[in-house]
Structure 1
Amino acid sequence: MIAKNIPTTKGDEMNKTELLSQLSEAELQSLMAAALRDMVKKEWLTPDELEKEYGISINAQNRMRMERRIPYSKIGKYVRYKRTDIERWLEEHKIETAAGL
């Protein structure tokens, strides 16, 4: 969250240093944490995260797990997907386009 008194339009004359000096420590930490989360992707995904990031619905995940068509791990009652396994699986199931299209 940016401090209320910091201008945010393209015509602002303030440089980055001036803007940063007006942020509270909490605001700066919040911005840095958000940037770090974007940079570091989680290794293991929940079904909700898989749906959000890859567009595979919860129902489709359930069906594919029952049919053993998607890689997953189960810890007790919790289902988790390893990001690298999912990306490899998606690549292996990619349908190539016809040449010349």
Structure 2
Amino acid sequence: LLAAIAMTLALVMIVENYFSIRISDTLQVQFTFIPNTILGAIAGPVWAAVFAAISDPVFVLFSGQTVLFTWILIEAVSAFIYGWFFYRKPLDTKNKAD
């Protein structure tokens, strides 16, 4: 589980660095919901929220950008919600809801 969480956090760093659209100096669109969804499905809601909250300050340390604590909370809550809905749910390719 710890190795899967570490790999997902590395995926978060890659997505934040290379797959983000910078609109202005203060506005940036990122696709970190994808690794957060994977993290929620693998680790569950609590661990997903904890590691999503940890991943944003770690990214700030490596990138030199400013930290906004509101976005850390929003990212943690969204990872918790993803974990709440996707943890231990079977993925069925025949079911249209999946």
Say yes or no: TM over 0.5. no
Name the larger-Rg structure.
1
TM-score by length of 2: 0.25
TM-score by length of 1: 0.24
